[in-house]
Amino acid sequence: MLHSSTTPAAKRLALRERLGARDILVLPGAFNPLSAMLIERRGFEAAYLSGAVIAADLGLPDVGLTTLSEVALRSQQVARVTSLPLLVDADTGFGEAMNVARTIQLLEDAGAAGVHVEDQVNPKRCGHLDGKLVVDVGVARQRVAAAVAARRDPNLLIVARTDARATDSLAAAIDRARSYVDAGADAIFPEALLDAGEFEAFREAIKVPLLANATEFGKGEPWAVAALNDLGVDMVIFPVSLLRLAMGAAERGLGVLRERGELSSLFETMQSRSELYELLDYKSYEQFDGDVFNFGSTT
């Protein structure tokens, strides 16, 4: 009720321990607190908060227009309602080394269990758009090192993302990943790899956990969890999937409403009032309210 009873420190430890398991960790992308609650209800072990989702929810393209305060606020809102570890997309860290340090501490305070920072120029672009640029590897290393130095909880997972596969080559992306591990990164996120062979090359070269992006309509082939697990990937995000599903359903529903003036034909596809109330745990609020206010006066 109100907030998760699981502390941020416990969530961070849980994420660390879960990465030691043999099978891949699946992180669906929450687009708001309610969707994060549904992710937990459906039995997933962690959730993800995408910068692209935050931007889209604000009516903005994913081209570096969101601010640190907006990302920190949404992170806090999502983290508070679930016991799941939350991995947060921090884009470029919203600046260079000192900005990255502040970003890490604000997101740590917001309850994040892990944060990923990328090597694109600031402002960045969506990882599956053309025209990306990456900073010099030395600057990118400074971002990673700053993130590692800034965390107060050593269990906060620092993930370094590289977009160099698209801007240069697979070999350049692997070289950068090695450099980021040397700078202290706990895990590597190679964005927009094209096929299984490229994941195999990364797995061979990089000994820390790897994160894959299974976003729809991207540069590479669509990935199934089982296939990535077979390739030795440790984590996979589905960053925008729930938002796409929800917006697709909303658009179709609006079409029906516009055409027919009512929505009864879609009732079976909606979350019912009782299902929503169960997800929100209305009963616990009623119980709390009764326990607090249902008392008699004494003389």
Q: What is the pLDDT of residues 253-290, one digit of tens each?
A: 999 999 999 999 999 999 999 999 999 999 998 888 77
- To the query of whether residue 161 is one of the catalytic residues in this protein, the response is yes
**Residue 131: per-residue pLDDT:** 67
% the chain with pLDDT above 70 = 94
- To the query of whether residue 126 is one of the catalytic residues in this protein, the response is yes
Average pLDDT over residues 232-244: 97
Closest CA to 187 of 202, 170, 198: 202
- To the query of whether residue 89 is one of the catalytic residues in this protein, the response is yes
pTM: 0.93
- To the query of whether residue 259 is one of the catalytic residues in this protein, the response is no
**What is each CA distance from 150 to 10, 172, 208, 230, in whole angstroms?**
19, 27, 20, 34
**Residue 21: per-residue pLDDT:** 81
**Residue 118: per-residue pLDDT:** 96
Q: Which of 32, 40, 62, 180 is catalytic?
A: 62
**Which part of the chain has CATH 3.20.20.60?**
8-241
Confidence check: pLDDT of 201 > 80 = yes
Tally DSSP H helices, then E strands, for the chain. Answer: 13, 8
**Residue 296: per-residue pLDDT:** 53
Q: Which of 74, 213, 234, 244 is catalytic?
A: 213
- Of the listed ranges 124-138, 149-163, 203-217, 228-242, the least confidently predicted one is 124-138
- To the query of whether residue 62 is one of the catalytic residues in this protein, the response is yes
How far is Cα 105 from Cα 85, in angstroms, rounded to an integer?
17
Angle (nearest 5°) at CA 155 between 200 and 67: 85
Residue 118 backbone phi and psi in degrees, to 5 = -110, 170
Closest CA to 80 of 34, 45, 114: 34
- To the query of whether residue 3 is one of the catalytic residues in this protein, the response is no
CATH class of the domain at 8-241: alpha beta
- To the query of whether residue 191 is one of the catalytic residues in this protein, the response is yes
Contact assessment for residue 88 and residue 105, using Cβ atoms and an 8 Å cutoff: no
**Residue 129: per-residue pLDDT:** 61
* β-bridge mates for residue 48, sequence order: 29, 87
Average pLDDT over residues 95-100: 94
Confidence check: pLDDT of 299 > 90 = no
